[in-house]
Amino acid sequence: MTTTAQPAVKPANPNFSSGPCAKRPGWTLEGLSDAPLGRSHRAKVGKAKLKRAIDLTRDILEIPADYRIGIVPASDTGAVEMALWSLLGARPVDLLAWESFGEGWVTDVVKQLKLKDARVLKAPYGELPDLAQVNFDHDVVFTWNGTTSGVRVPNADFVPADRQGLTICDATSAAFAQDLDWSKLDVVTYSWQKVLGGEAAHGMLILSPRAVERLESYVPAWPLPKIFRLTKGGKLIEGTFEGETINTPSMLCVEDYLDALGWAKQVGGLKGLQARSDANFKVLADYVAKTPWIDFLAKVPETRSNTSVCLVVADPEVKALAPDAQAAFAKALAAALEKAGVAYDIGAYRDAPAGLRIWAGATVEASDLDALLPWLDWAFESAKAGLRQAA
């Protein structure tokens, strides 16, 4: 039985999940009352809402005017799959993987599409592959920010401007929080439920002129399901990128996305959102720097995510335990915090090393992270007391 005293102050919002993420500060369901529920998304009002979402996305993310922006089904996963199935096969492909979602795209390309000229560049959790080894004469598939490892590419300097292949970037936990160099990216995908705290099930597919050229000049060797088709008669289906979605969207979710985009403008647009994420990350980074029992999973500071912050227990006594016992210890921390009502859903991703994963994206308040920190110490001390008692 623990005798460690609980801290006096709890976070006002204990939602630190890495997806779906916390709603924006001040969010209410009543704020979505303008959603055209019961109306067709193809009606004038529905099309206008969808087009507004695309236009605001371009404005806030500072996307070049000649890039297409589409709202697609099945979240970020659906957007990535559409890109992989529609674009790959024209030339060899390099696949970068350093966490579970990157590994998922490797599986799709190697085992489902069965591309023989696919090269996989891997790194363990906490590290990046050697980016200097990437061949940009090939198409290249990578995650910008590894949501399950907390490791991101520090910038797009590793991508040459004169590349021959396409760059296909899963940016789902990076968009709106990190600088995406559009000149180096041909396909970018993300979902609404990450940095903006929107609802799930809808994804964004952003295409450069080079990606559009590939779509209009190349036909894959495999059949494409209707939900993946982006061209007709050898031409891009422009309606997909003007608010005529491929399948029926939830207009309530669209309204929620519009609400989040409106809030984003209020806090200063892209720079304001990035500043909020950076400030949140600093709260956690300062804590890690002065707390011996915890450390970042990401080994190199420049690669540490400012959104999906992945942490490991660095205490020597815990690290000396068998792997299963270390995992149980980390799960006990997360369970204690959830039971106390101070942090929900912050256990490490199921495929990642044991530890904690705390979302620090723009919709999280720095004051809530400040309030969480003493509780992390409380949970650790409580778990250590239990460990010693069991021994």
Q: Which residue's entry shows tokens 């959102």?
A: 273
User: Taking residues 280-295, what's their average pLDDT?
Assistant: 98
54 is a domain residue: yes
Question: Same domain, yes or no, for 259 and 280?
Answer: no
Q: State mean pLDDT over 192-218.
A: 98
Distance CA 315, CA 324 (A): 16
CATH code: domain of residue 335: 3.90.1150.10
How sure is the predictor about 388, in pLDDT bands with cuts at 50, 70 and 90?
confident
Pair 313, 366 in one domain: yes
323 neighbors 313 (Cβ within 8 angstroms): no
Cis peptide before 301 (omega within 30 of 0): no
The residue type found at 183 is: S
Q: Which residues contact 62 (CB under 8 A, 6 or more apart)?
A: 182, 270
Tokens 């590349």 correspond to 163
Query: Distances in Å between the alpha carbon of 185 and those of 46, 64, 72, 194?
Result: 30, 11, 19, 20
Give 123's contacts (C-beta < 8 A, 6+ positions apart): 97, 98, 129, 130
Of 246, 265, 284, which closes a domain?
265
CA distance linking residue 352 with residue 147, whole number of Å: 10
Could you give phi then psi for residue 77, rounded to 5 degrees? -60, -45
Q: What is the mean pLDDT of residues 273-300?
A: 98
| Residue 136: closest CA among 164, 116, 97 | 164
Strand partners, 187: 168, 207
- At 3 the pLDDT is 61
Q: Is residue 229 located within the same domain as residue 309? A: no
Look at residues 26, 20, 12 and name the one whose alpha carbon lies nearest to residue 264: 26
Check whether residue 77 and residue 204 sit in a common domain: yes
pLDDT of 326-346, one tens digit each? Answer: 999 999 999 999 999 999 999
Same domain? For 113 and 255 the reply is yes
DSSP E strands: which ranges in 179-247? Answer: 187-191, 202-207, 231-232, 235-236
Instruction: Inform me whether the pLDDT recorded for 325 exceeds 50.
Output: yes
User: Considering its fold, how many domains does the chain have in total?
Assistant: 2
Eight-state DSSP code of residue 109: I
Domain that holds residue 364: 269-390
pLDDT of residue 1: 42
Q: Which residues lie across from 310 on neighbouring strands?
A: 357
Same domain? For 239 and 126 the reply is yes
Instruction: Return the sign of the alpha-carbon dihedral for residues 299, 305, 310, 315.
Output: positive
Read off the tokens for 45. Answer: 């009002």
Among the candidates 241, 265, 289, a domain finishes at 265
Q: Within this chain, do residues 299 and 276 fall inside the same structural domain, yes or no?
A: yes
Tally the C-alpha atoms within 13 A of residue 251's C-alpha that lie toward its C-beta.
19
Residue 63, CB half-sphere, CA atoms under 13 Å: how many?
26
Distance CA 272, CA 176 (A): 9
Looking at the fold, whether 228 and 303 belong to one and the same domain comes out as no
CA 257 to chain centroid: 16
Domain end, chosen from 265, 289, 313, is at 265
Q: Determine phi and psi for 221, rounding to 5 degrees.
A: -75, -15
Claim to verify: residue 248 and residue 301 sit in the same structural domain: no
Q: Quick one: 212 and 230 in the same domain?
A: yes
User: 357 and 311 in contact (C-beta within 8 Å)?
Assistant: yes
Question: Which residue in the block uniquely carries the two structure tokens 């101070």?
Answer: 342
**Whether the predicted model's global pTM rises above the 0.95 cut:** yes
Q: Are 211 and 141 in contact (CB under 8 A)?
A: no
Q: What angle do CA 15, 17, 23 make, to 5 degrees?
A: 55
> Does one domain contain both 231 and 365?
no
Tens of pLDDT, residue by residue over 174-183, are 999 999 999 9
Provide the pLDDT for residue 194. Answer: 98
